[in-house]
């Protein structure tokens, strides 16, 4: 009953029928209370997003897998201290982190969100050393700015680690099974001396063992992700292999090669080839089968074995062994009795023809057809003589068994080559993706774009890669290219919300109100519980200057995911627009608690301090933002402005020059440079910069207004009136109009 309930629970989980799985698992825990079954119940609740239930179920448990699942539930409930205690108990400082790489990754997240960045980096690196394909760990390292080059992380050492992991679980057991085959041959002589009563006794014991092995396998399977100890037990020739043990062993049985009994007591012939194209060239006759004990009892024993064996759990094992196993029948050599099977190739042999194939580890009993009409009474002396002569294998039988071992080892070498080539292909792809993402997180956006272009066409046009390309263009302030990349990402993966918060900000800067409104509606209809959807909706209202409604939408995004840093930052922007600087500072600080490298929050704090005329604080926060994103022309420009207000004009001019070089398309650094030169009364240099700026921004009102101001201070009133008029002709905002008129009247 227990094994059946566990099997049905796991089937329900595979079919995503979570309420059904929970109901059956509750029955299981009521009937068979154990910590292993509680783990399965907690998994059911965790997969149905009920972490609070898993928390109460697993509280106080001690097994490593229970501690990991309990930590997962605590992390989802934002109980980070309890999650850390579950993974690293204070009373056991030397205890290993449960669940290997996944446990270290979870512990790294806990350290990251509790602002222990160095220890978090160590945990993520440890997770990668255990499982080099754990992309999430490398992704977190990139976000923290602590990731190594992808070529080194996903290099030769990673390939060797992957091969060891796969071969220890797959090819290793196959090679071990081929070695154990030789030990089975050596035990045949002893098996012939076993009496029929002893054989029946052994059959009955094996039926009990198969039931126990089956239950044990199910229990171990319920605790997913637990590493295998890699121990493979030898099966004695006396023990009948259990079909259930074969199904739950997780090891593909070695191939079987057909062995032919020689024609006559002294003749010998070669066995058949193991390839599917091999055929039996001659029909070899064997002596008549001798009945040593009651066959009816043996059929009853065999029938019970078949009835106890359920359907094969792993279709993968059946798929791998089917084509090879179908080429040969399975016979049990012992006690002078040969059990013939049907010929799979379609050729019909006589009723006295039999095939003798040695029993191999991991193979289940196949349906046996016991020949009827055999002479029941035989001479005792003749029977003993036959038994004695059949106890030692013929040379051809031994050669066939050696060929079988070679074939098994050949299969293992083929698996090794597959694992090696597969690991190489996956790692080569991760090298490009990882390096591009690492450069993007370091805000080396142009370098990241160049790396992403190295991807094959089918991988470049995936939603994730196109979203990363869009983010890179966004950081380069190339909003048109960013919009194109994000729109292609939407076409490639309309169900994915990755990067859609940035896409909405791109449309906000492009003043594409129709596209932004459509995007917000699409995202809300796709997933109302995603923070990206509400960020897009908030940007839509912010563009319409409805800052209060926009703030509510951004707060909804924070409510859905308190670890979504960009939502906190957007809340801060709206508070600043409402001139609520105190709450704006709190929102930016909340964003930095989630992600200390979120430079937008540092920039927002610096802008608040700049408006509050706290220039020292402003400079500090601008420098923090610039350390994270050293290629941002906008941050350099405002840092120069802060330095200018602190009367550090030489430093301000140097920063402005860097900003101009970083992005020549950005007119703001050139305009601020002209302002600094005006304050230093270098009017000729300022006019030269503004004349150059007119070519980049011919419709900027502020450029002509500043030129008019310079001409006025140089007492060139005609030129001043001309440029003031040009500024007014460009229809500036009401505030700018008032400023220009005041300046014009003063002339």
- Residue 200's nearest CA partner among 269, 133, 93, 300 is 300
Task: Specify the pLDDT at position 170.
Answer: 53
Nearest-angstrom CA–CA distance, 436 and 466 = 12
DSSP state of 260: B
Residue 256: C-alpha distances to residues 252, 284, 433 (Å):
12, 19, 44
CB-facing half-sphere around the CA of 475: CA atoms within 13 A = 25
Task: Specify the pLDDT at position 453.
Answer: 96
Domain boundary among 564, 586, 608: 586
Q: Per-residue pLDDT tens for 492-504?
A: 999 999 999 999 9
Residue-by-residue DSSP string for 1-58: -HHHHHHHHHHHHHTT-HHHHHHHHHHHHHHS--HHHHHHHHHHHHHTT-HHHHHHHH
Region at 333 (left for phi over 0; alpha for psi -120 to 50; beta for the rest): beta
Domain boundary among 586, 611, 627: 586
pLDDT averaged over every residue in the chain: 76
Q: Per-residue pLDDT tens for 370-401?
A: 344 444 443 444 444 444 444 444 544 444 44
Is residue 648 scored above 60 in pLDDT? yes
The answer to whether position 112 is within a domain reads yes
Nearest-angstrom CA–CA distance, 671 and 696 = 11
Nearest-angstrom CA–CA distance, 136 and 140 = 6
Give the torsion sign (CA, 599, 600, 604, 607). positive
Q: Where are the alpha helices (DSSP H) in 527-564?
A: 531-543, 547-560
Choose the weakest-confidence range: 234-243, 557-566, 661-670.
Answer: 234-243
Task: Specify the pLDDT at position 715.
Answer: 86
Nearest-angstrom CA–CA distance, 674 and 687 = 7
Interhelix angle for 463-475 vs 479-492, to 10°? 170
Nearest-angstrom CA–CA distance, 44 and 25 = 8
Task: Specify the pLDDT at position 95.
Answer: 81
Number of domains present in the structure of the chain: 2
User: SS3 for 162?
Assistant: helix
Choose the weakest-confidence range: 5-9, 258-262, 683-687, 721-725.
Answer: 258-262
- Residue 252's nearest CA partner among 407, 421, 357 is 407
Range 236-265 average pLDDT: 42
Q: Per-residue pLDDT tens for 545-602?
A: 999 999 999 999 999 999 999 999 999 999 999 999 999 999 999 999 999 999 999 9
| pLDDT confidence band for 267 (50 / 70 / 90) | very low
- Residue 99 sits in a domain of what CATH number? 1.25.40.10
Task: Specify the pLDDT at position 350.
Answer: 41
The answer to whether position 697 is within a domain reads no
Nearest-angstrom CA–CA distance, 697 and 510 = 16
The answer to whether position 7 is within a domain reads yes
Q: Per-residue pLDDT tens for 326-381?
A: 333 333 334 344 444 444 444 433 433 333 333 333 344 333 443 444 444 434 44
- Residue 89's nearest CA partner among 77, 78, 81 is 81
CB-facing half-sphere around the CA of 583: CA atoms within 13 A = 12
CB 80 within 8 A of CB 115: no
Region at 546 (left for phi over 0; alpha for psi -120 to 50; beta for the rest): beta
| pLDDT confidence band for 700 (50 / 70 / 90) | confident
The answer to whether position 580 is within a domain reads yes
Q: What percent of the chain has pLDDT over 70?
A: 66
Is residue 91 scored above 80 in pLDDT? no
| pLDDT confidence band for 663 (50 / 70 / 90) | confident
Give the torsion sign (CA, 449, 451, 456, 459). negative
Q: What percent of the chain has pLDDT over 90?
A: 52
CB 736 within 8 A of CB 724: no
Task: Specify the pLDDT at position 724.
Answer: 85
The answer to whether position 94 is within a domain reads yes
Is residue 416 scored above 70 in pLDDT? yes
Range 310-324 average pLDDT: 40
> Burial letters for 265-285: b for 16+ Cβ neighbours within 10 Å, e otherwise?
eeeeeebbebeeeeeeeeebb
Task: Specify the pLDDT at position 745.
Answer: 59
The answer to whether position 2 is within a domain reads yes
Range 53-66 average pLDDT: 93
Q: Per-residue pLDDT tens for 152-172?
A: 999 888 888 888 887 776 544
CB 499 within 8 A of CB 467: yes
| pLDDT confidence band for 736 (50 / 70 / 90) | confident
CB-facing half-sphere around the CA of 159: CA atoms within 13 A = 20
CB 308 within 8 A of CB 244: yes
- The whole-angstrom distance between residue 386's C-alpha and the CA centroid of its chain comes to 61
The answer to whether position 122 is within a domain reads yes
- Structure-model confidence comparison of residues 364 and 88, the more confident one: 88
CB 604 within 8 A of CB 588: yes
Residue 625: C-alpha distances to residues 468, 589, 599, 607, 630 (Å):
21, 13, 5, 11, 8
The answer to whether position 156 is within a domain reads no
Task: Specify the pLDDT at position 118.
Answer: 94
Task: Specify the pLDDT at position 744.
Answer: 60
Nearest-angstrom CA–CA distance, 375 and 589 = 93
Domain boundary among 125, 147, 169: 147
* Residues contacting residue 234 through CB under 8 Å, at least 6 positions apart: 180, 183, 361
Q: Per-residue pLDDT tens for 2-54?
A: 899 999 999 999 999 999 999 999 999 999 999 999 999 999 999 999 999 99
CB 619 within 8 A of CB 643: yes
Is residue 278 scored above 50 in pLDDT? no
| pLDDT confidence band for 743 (50 / 70 / 90) | low
The whole domain housing 561 covers 497-586
DSSP state of 355: B
* Residues contacting residue 410 through CB under 8 Å, at least 6 positions apart: none
Q: Per-residue pLDDT tens for 62-73?
A: 899 999 999 999
Q: Per-residue pLDDT tens for 703-733?
A: 888 898 898 888 888 888 888 888 888 877 7
The whole-model pTM stands at: 0.67
Is residue 183 scored above 90 in pLDDT? no
- Residue 610's nearest CA partner among 598, 620, 601, 600 is 620
Q: Per-residue pLDDT tens for 445-477?
A: 999 999 999 999 999 999 999 999 999 999 999
Residue whose token pair is 């409805």: 546
CB 711 within 8 A of CB 678: no
Q: Can you give the three-state secondary structure of 278-326, one letter per residue?
A: CCCCCCCCCCCCCCCCCHHHHHHHHHHHHHHCCCCCCHHHHHHHHHHHC
Q: Per-residue pLDDT tens for 620-632?
A: 999 999 999 999 9
Range 323-328 average pLDDT: 38
């Amino acid at each position: 009953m227990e094994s059946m309930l566990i099997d049905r629970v796991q089937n329900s989980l595979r079919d995503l029928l979570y309420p059904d799985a929970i109901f059956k698992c509750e029955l299981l825990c009521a009937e068979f209370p154990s910590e292993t079954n509680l783990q399965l119940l907690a998994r059911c609740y965790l997969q149905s997003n009920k972490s609070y239930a898993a928390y109460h179920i697993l509280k106080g448990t001690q097994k490593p897998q229970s501690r990991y699942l309990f930590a997962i539930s605590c992390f989802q409930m934002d109980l980070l201290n309890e999650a850390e205690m579950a993974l690293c108990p204070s009373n056991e400082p030397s205890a290993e982190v449960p669940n290997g790489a996944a446990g270290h990754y979870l512990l790294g997240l806990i350290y990251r969100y509790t602002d222990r960045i160095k220890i978090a980096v160590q945990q993520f690196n440890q997770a990668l050393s255990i499982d080099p394909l754990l992309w999430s760990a490398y992704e977190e390292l990139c976000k923290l700015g602590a990731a190594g080059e992808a070529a080194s992380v996903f290099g030769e050492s990673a390939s060797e680690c992957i091969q060891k992991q796969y071969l220890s679980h797959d090819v290793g057991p196959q090679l071990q099974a081929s070695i154990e085959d030789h030990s089975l041959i050596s035990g045949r002589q002893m098996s012939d001396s076993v009496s029929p009563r002893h054989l029946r006794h052994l059959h009955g014991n094996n039926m009990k063992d198969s039931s126990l092995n089956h239950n044990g396998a199910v229990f171990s399977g319920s605790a997913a992700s637990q590493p295998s100890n890699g121990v493979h037990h030898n099966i004695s020739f006396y023990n009948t292999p259990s079909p259930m043990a074969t199904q739950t062993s997780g090891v593909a049985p070695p191939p079987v090669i057909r062995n032919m009994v020689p024609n006559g007591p002294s003749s010998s012939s070669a066995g058949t080839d193991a390839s599917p194209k091999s055929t039996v060239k001659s029909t070899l006759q064997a002596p008549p089968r001798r009945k040593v004990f009651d066959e009816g009892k043996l059929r009853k024993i065999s029938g019970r074995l078949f009835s106890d064996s359920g359907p094969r759990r792993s279709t993968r094992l059946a798929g791998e062994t089917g084509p090879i196993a179908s080429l040969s029948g399975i016979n049990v050599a012992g006690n002078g009795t040969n059990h013939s099977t049907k010929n799979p190739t379609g050729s019909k042999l006589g009723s006295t023809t039999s095939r003798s194939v040695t029993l191999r580890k991991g193979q289940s009993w196949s349906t046996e057809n016991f020949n009827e009409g055999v002479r029941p009474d035989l001479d005792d002396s003749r029977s003993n003589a036959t038994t004695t002569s059949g106890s030692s294998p013929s040379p051809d039988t031994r050669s066939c068994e050696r060929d079988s071992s070679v074939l098994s080892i050949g299969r293992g070498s083929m698996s090794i080559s597959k694992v090696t080539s597969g690991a190489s292909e996956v790692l080569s792809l991760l090298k490009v993706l990882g390096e591009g993402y690492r450069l993007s997180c370091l805000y080396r956006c142009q370098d990241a774009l160049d790396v992403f272009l190295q991807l094959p066409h089918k991988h470049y046009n995936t939603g994730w890669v196109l979203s990363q390309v869009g983010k890179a263009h966004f950081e380069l302030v190339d909003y048109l290219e960013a919009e194109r990349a994000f729109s292609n990402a939407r076409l490639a993966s309309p169900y994915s919300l990755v990067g859609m918060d940035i896409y909405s900000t791109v449309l906000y800067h492009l003043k594409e109100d129709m596209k932004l409104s459509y995007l917000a509606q699409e995202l809300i209809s796709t997933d109302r519980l995603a923070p990206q959807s509400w960020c897009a909706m908030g940007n839509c209202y912010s563009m319409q200057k409805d800052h209060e409604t926009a703030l509510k939408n951004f707060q909804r995004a924070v409510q859905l995911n308190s670890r979504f840093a960009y939502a906190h930052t957007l809340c801060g922007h709206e508070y600043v627009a409402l001139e609520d600087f105190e709450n704006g500072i709190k929102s930016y600080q909340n964003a930095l608690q989630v992600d200390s490298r979120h430079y937008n929050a540092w920039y927002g704090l610096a802008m608040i301090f700049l408006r509050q005329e706290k220039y020292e604080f402003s400079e500090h926060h601008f420098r923090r933002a610039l350390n994270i994103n050293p290629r941002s022309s906008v941050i350099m420009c405002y840092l120069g402005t802060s330095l200018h207000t602190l009367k550090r004009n030489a430093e301000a001019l140097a920063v402005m020059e860097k900003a101009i070089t970083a992005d020549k398309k950005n007119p703001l650094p050139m305009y601020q440079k002209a302002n600094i030169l005006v304050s230093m009364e270098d009017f000729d240099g300022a006019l030269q910069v503004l004349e150059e700026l007119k070519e980049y921004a011919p419709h900027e009102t502020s450029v002509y207004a500043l030129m008019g101001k310079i001409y006025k201070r140089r007492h060139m009133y005609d030129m001043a009136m001309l440029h003031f008029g040009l500024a007014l002709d460009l229809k500036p905002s009401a505030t700018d109009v008032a400023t220009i008129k005041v300046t014009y009247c003063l002339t």
